[in-house]
Chain A
Amino acid sequence: MNIRLVPFTWARHIHAALVVMAATLLGYWGLLALCALQGPFWSPTADLNVLLGVFGLGSGVGAVLVQGSLESKPGTWWRKGLLWAALGGFVSAHLGAGLGAYVTAFAVPGASEAYAVAPVLSVLKYSIASFVCAGLFFGLLMGWWRKASLALYACVGIVCGLGAAMTWHLTAGIVDLYAAAAAAAMAWGGAFGLLAWVVPRRLYSGWVRVLSGSRFGVRVRVDDDGDASELVAGHYPRGMDLWLPAEEGVREMHLSVAVDSEQNYKARGLSLYPTRVTRSLEKLDLRYDPARPLPLETPLRSGDLLELGDGQAQTVLEFVMLPRQEDAS
């Protein structure tokens, strides 16, 4: 997996979910292969515990895979990740499911009588506690591994368990348990991937790229090392971050693009000459107004166009978020 394949768009919010979903599904497929070739070596009453453990394993592996590859983690991180997130994911979800079964026996009315008649029962009412507890335990483990907020990950885990439970129950009623478990695997992995970890902004940086004139294609990174900085574009003959010719409508120190420590980008108009920011359904005039104490500025989003000058003598720049690994070629 490569950060270059995850653009800074809506896609980055679901990319992790897709990977974790696929990994969880593969985990379930592996479980079926094991059962088909070797047969289950556990009691039939523990089928749900094993399934949820495999969900934890698959989701853990998926989480390690997506984070490790996108952030280019070193080998030691991978080894620890596979041990804690993958193996730990299985154990935590498996144990949580088992605990949920005990909770069911005591807390759900009629459960112990129903299980006395039929030791194996495939009913949501008697299984939901297992799903929720498995999700909770898994979430807590992943939160600890990622050194993130345990409360947040606990909630994420519970959502994973509930989503898997609902999907499993609905699909089992319409199709069968084979498809139901596959649907539950995708629900579990998708919920975890969507809610727990989004591809972070820090893996991207802002670039300004020239779209017109003699300097077409030149691009300059706004922040090199992730700290707050400011890039100035203009016709000033010495020391300009982005030098652009005057014949193409650019004035001395025409525009600046700044970034703060939280990676929020903004454009500032420094010139009396036409300076516009154009995005879909919106055009902003950032021309410097001497009556104002400070230059006008606006937050920048990836894809915004910056127009310097007017008419035929105009230079158009583009602000775009690209992976930090991109070279300034």
Chain B
Amino acid sequence: MIRWLLAAGIIGCAGPGELGDGDLERLPGSLTRVEESNPDPGRFQLELMATEGDCQQLKNEGVLERLDDCLPRVETGNGTVRLAYRLLDGGVPLALPVQRDVQGRIDPHRFISVSHEGDDVRDRPESAGTGIEQRLQLIPHGETTEAAQLFVLLIDRSNSMRNDDGTGTSRLQRVQQALLTRSVVERFFSSDKNRVMVLSFAQDVRASGGDSRQLELIDNPTRFHEVITGLRADGTWTHLYDAVANATARAIKRPEVEGYLREEKALPTVIALTDGFDNQNNAESCGDNAAGLRRLLKLLDRQRSQVSTEILAPVVYTVGLGTPALPDFPYINGDSENREFLRLQKLAQNPTPAGLCGENADTVIDPPSGPGLEDRGIDNASLEWIAARGGGRAVITTDRSELVQAFERAAAKRYEWFELQYHTDPTDFRQSFEVTLKTKAYADTQASIRFHPASAFDLPEAQASVGAVMGAAAPFRSTAALFLPLLGVLISLAFLGAATFNLRRALSRETPRSSKDSG
């Protein structure tokens, strides 16, 4: 009898699927269970905050106030997920910078990629080809000023930087003024551990300090001021691609720099500033630059994908002082909702002459006589491509205040941990699903976490908020809003029969007739 009961219990208490041996933890406020995350092995690890224990660690470190702000949340009916993560370097938390755009928004695609059960989640409206609206939001937490950052300023000193464009101030002077703005200097030297390296480029790359045996790492605003004001536009051609390759691959690998980066766990940030095109002779056309740009982009990709490096991969920003010479880049035909998605797709590919220059592929950049492409403006296409693959941003401007903003944003605040929220098709939540996060900046690592949502019933869904990805969690008492009216209706219907019976009889009741009436 007992054996039969046990067998019956085993049958009744199991379902058809098998979950394996891992422990499951229930997410607060829902019936979704979560397995422990699987980070990639290696020096850098992406730690996903899957359990209360993970979040308690953040709280103990003083970068989290309430556990609820960190714990994972899954809203199966709304199709939204919230997940917190941080990057560890050898087991030690690594604070990362996050840059905002001019509207103060953070583009999560620059920092992290998310896949939901193997499908990439991107910020795209419903009409972007798939019919499914997806939203992605990244919220940084735990701002810190302790983390170190190395700023490598790569400044164009070709002779075109002497032009004043009718303003009375040369381009180089405008750059110098922007770099010496108090807010920029304060941001560069916000931490005692920050360093600045100033490289200028034209036909070659020169470092400040004058000592070719050792690159100078500037650690105070006074010296920074000296170096910046000492810059001169005395170069000729503009070897932009070689300069960026030098800054990201060779300069950073110099022993004195590498030692600093390793010791302070600093993040190298390269800011390349130019006012034209990469060009090496008078006969070069725009399309000829495609090969050089391709080599540079491959180098940047290689750097960012090297898991075994001892230091973080550099982030590359590009600043163009002027107006775009290729305003139609990236040459996409499509409605405005799709353009950003297609633009990012294009920047992930390698450049071709037509892809880089459009109809200007054969236009000479700087001919010996007559106007060239460089007279129209800056190679905005190359700058965007380099910044996209370098994990940074491209800013093309003639305005000094925008230059200041560009430098400030490059010296971004650093944060200890991040909250990722995304929304996708709710029907994808009707089964167990795995979420994989992969870093796209600073280090190349990934981690996965598996969720098991409720399969038959669930607690009430959060209320969706306008403009926000996640809604406010519904307390248990909100179940009364469904159950009490239903029970009320059922009880009322139960009494309805008696009520109608009595009402009918009351309305149709005859009055008593006396015997006198009957005559």
Chain A residues in the interface with B (C-beta under 8 A): 4-7, 9-12, 14-15, 18-19, 21-22, 25-26, 28-29, 31-33, 35-37, 39-40, 42-51, 53, 91, 94-95, 97-99, 101-102, 104-105, 111-112, 115-116, 118-123, 126-127, 168, 172, 175-182, 186, 211-214, 216-217, 245, 247-249, 312-314, 316
Q: Choose from B452, B486, B495, B510 the contact partner of A316 (Cβ within 8 Å).
A: B510
* Minimal beta-carbon separation of A318 from chain B (angstroms): 9
Contacting residues, chain B, for A249 (C-beta < 8 A): 518
Contact between B512 and A97 (Cβ–Cβ < 8 Å)? no
* Residue of chain A at shortest CB distance from B497: A11
Contact between A43 and B15 (Cβ–Cβ < 8 Å)? yes
Cα separation A211 to B340 with both chains bound (whole Å): 85
* Minimal beta-carbon separation of A38 from chain B (angstroms): 10
B6-21 residues with Cβ-Cβ distance < 8 A to A are 8, 11-19
* Minimal beta-carbon separation of A179 from chain B (angstroms): 7
Known contacts A6-B498, A29-B483, then 16 further A-B pairs from the complex at CB < 8 Å, ordered by chain A residue: A5-B498, A26-B483, A44-B15, A45-B455, A47-B455, A48-B455, A91-B12, A118-B17, A121-B431, A176-B77, A176-B458, A177-B77, A180-B457, A182-B483, A247-B515, A312-B519
Q: Choose from A4, A7, A211 the contact partner of B510 (Cβ within 8 Å).
A: A211
Cα separation A4 to B497 with both chains bound (whole Å): 11
* Minimal beta-carbon separation of A14 from chain B (angstroms): 7
Contact between B458 and A25 (Cβ–Cβ < 8 Å)? no
* Minimal beta-carbon separation of B454 from chain A (angstroms): 6
* Minimal beta-carbon separation of B52 from chain A (angstroms): 12
Q: Is B102 an interface residue (CB 8 A)?
A: no
* Residue of chain B at shortest CB distance from A127: B456
* Residue of chain B at shortest CB distance from A179: B482
Contacting residues, chain A, for B501 (C-beta < 8 A): 7, 9, 11
* Residue of chain A at shortest CB distance from B433: A118
Contact between A46 and B14 (Cβ–Cβ < 8 Å)? yes
Contact between B19 and A119 (Cβ–Cβ < 8 Å)? yes
Q: Is B517 an interface residue (CB 8 A)?
A: yes
* Minimal beta-carbon separation of A125 from chain B (angstroms): 12
Known: A44-B33, A49-B12, A175-B77. A182 touches B455 (CB 8 A): no
Q: Is B3 an interface residue (CB 8 A)?
A: no
Interface flags, B476-512, vs A, CB<8A=1, else 0 = 1001001100110011011111101110000001101
Cα separation A247 to B514 with both chains bound (whole Å): 11
Cα separation A275 to B8 with both chains bound (whole Å): 67
Contact between B514 and A36 (Cβ–Cβ < 8 Å)? no
Contacting residues, chain A, for B517 (C-beta < 8 A): 312
Cα separation A99 to B515 with both chains bound (whole Å): 74
* Minimal beta-carbon separation of A67 from chain B (angstroms): 15
Contact between B76 and A95 (Cβ–Cβ < 8 Å)? no
Of residues B457, B482, B519, which shows the largest number of chain A Cβ atoms within 10 Å of its Cβ? B457
Q: Is B390 an interface residue (CB 8 A)?
A: no
Contacting residues, chain A, for B13 (C-beta < 8 A): 42-43, 46, 49, 94, 98
Which 8 residue pairs spanning A and B have beta carbons closest together? A11-B497, A45-B15, A119-B17, A176-B77, A181-B457, A216-B512, A7-B501, A118-B431
Contact between A120 and B452 (Cβ–Cβ < 8 Å)? yes
Contact between A101 and B15 (Cβ–Cβ < 8 Å)? yes
* Minimal beta-carbon separation of B338 from chain A (angstroms): 29
* Minimal beta-carbon separation of B493 from chain A (angstroms): 5
Contacting residues, chain A, for B16 (C-beta < 8 A): 45, 101-102, 104-105, 111-112, 115, 126
Contact between B12 and A94 (Cβ–Cβ < 8 Å)? yes
Contact between A44 and B510 (Cβ–Cβ < 8 Å)? no
Q: Is B459 an interface residue (CB 8 A)?
A: yes
Contact between A45 and B19 (Cβ–Cβ < 8 Å)? yes
Contacting residues, chain A, for B458 (C-beta < 8 A): 176-178, 181
Cα separation A42 to B457 with both chains bound (whole Å): 14
Contact between A35 and B459 (Cβ–Cβ < 8 Å)? yes
Cα separation A199 to B435 with both chains bound (whole Å): 54
18 pairs, CB–CB < 8 Å, chain A vs chain B: A9-B501, A40-B26, A44-B15, A45-B17, A46-B15, A95-B8, A99-B11, A118-B17, A120-B432, A176-B458, A177-B458, A178-B457, A178-B460, A178-B479, A180-B457, A213-B514, A214-B515, A249-B518
Known: A15-B494, A18-B490, A176-B458. A213 touches B518 (CB 8 A): yes
Known: A7-B497, A122-B431. A43 touches B11 (CB 8 A): no
* Minimal beta-carbon separation of A41 from chain B (angstroms): 10
Cα separation A44 to B509 with both chains bound (whole Å): 60
Judged by DSSP, the binding face of A is: helix
Contacting residues, chain A, for B330 (C-beta < 8 A): none
Cα separation A121 to B247 with both chains bound (whole Å): 52
Q: Is B430 an interface residue (CB 8 A)?
A: yes
How many chain B residues touch A (CB < 8 A): the figure is 56
Cα separation A99 to B15 with both chains bound (whole Å): 9
Q: Choose from B11, B26, B493 the contact partner of A95 (Cβ within 8 Å).
A: B11
Q: Is B24 an interface residue (CB 8 A)?
A: yes
Known: A115-B16, A120-B431. A29 touches B479 (CB 8 A): yes
* Residue of chain A at shortest CB distance from B25: A39
Q: Is B213 an interface residue (CB 8 A)?
A: no
Cα separation A43 to B16 with both chains bound (whole Å): 11
Contacting residues, chain A, for B366 (C-beta < 8 A): none
Cα separation A98 to B457 with both chains bound (whole Å): 16
* Residue of chain B at shortest CB distance from A182: B482
Known: A11-B496, A32-B459, A181-B457. A212 touches B513 (CB 8 A): yes
Contact between A97 and B431 (Cβ–Cβ < 8 Å)? no
* Minimal beta-carbon separation of B13 from chain A (angstroms): 5
Cα separation A34 to B350 with both chains bound (whole Å): 56
Interface flags, B436-479, vs A, CB<8A=1, else 0 = 00000000000000001111111111000000000000001001
* Residue of chain B at shortest CB distance from A96: B12
Q: Is B245 an interface residue (CB 8 A)?
A: no
Cα separation A249 to B512 with both chains bound (whole Å): 15
Contacting residues, chain A, for B207 (C-beta < 8 A): none
Contact between B26 and A39 (Cβ–Cβ < 8 Å)? yes
* Minimal beta-carbon separation of B22 from chain A (angstroms): 11
Q: Choose from A19, A28, A36, A121 the contact partner of B494 (Cβ within 8 Å).
A: A19
Contact between A5 and B17 (Cβ–Cβ < 8 Å)? no
Contacting residues, chain B, for A312 (C-beta < 8 A): 517-519
Q: Is B31 an interface residue (CB 8 A)?
A: yes
Contacting residues, chain B, for A245 (C-beta < 8 A): 515
Contacting residues, chain A, for B14 (C-beta < 8 A): 43, 45-46, 49, 98, 101
* Residue of chain A at shortest CB distance from B490: A22
Q: Choose from A7, A22, A101, A217 the contact partner of B498 (Cβ within 8 Å).
A: A7
Contacting residues, chain A, for B486 (C-beta < 8 A): 25, 182, 186
Contacting residues, chain B, for A49 (C-beta < 8 A): 12-15
Cα separation A105 to B11 with both chains bound (whole Å): 13
Q: Choose from A9, A36, A180, A217 the contact partner of B476 (Cβ within 8 Å).
A: A36
Contacting residues, chain B, for A18 (C-beta < 8 A): 490-491, 493-494
Contacting residues, chain B, for A116 (C-beta < 8 A): 17
Cα separation A101 to B93 with both chains bound (whole Å): 45
Contact between B483 and A25 (Cβ–Cβ < 8 Å)? yes
Contacting residues, chain B, for A37 (C-beta < 8 A): 476
Contact between A28 and B457 (Cβ–Cβ < 8 Å)? yes
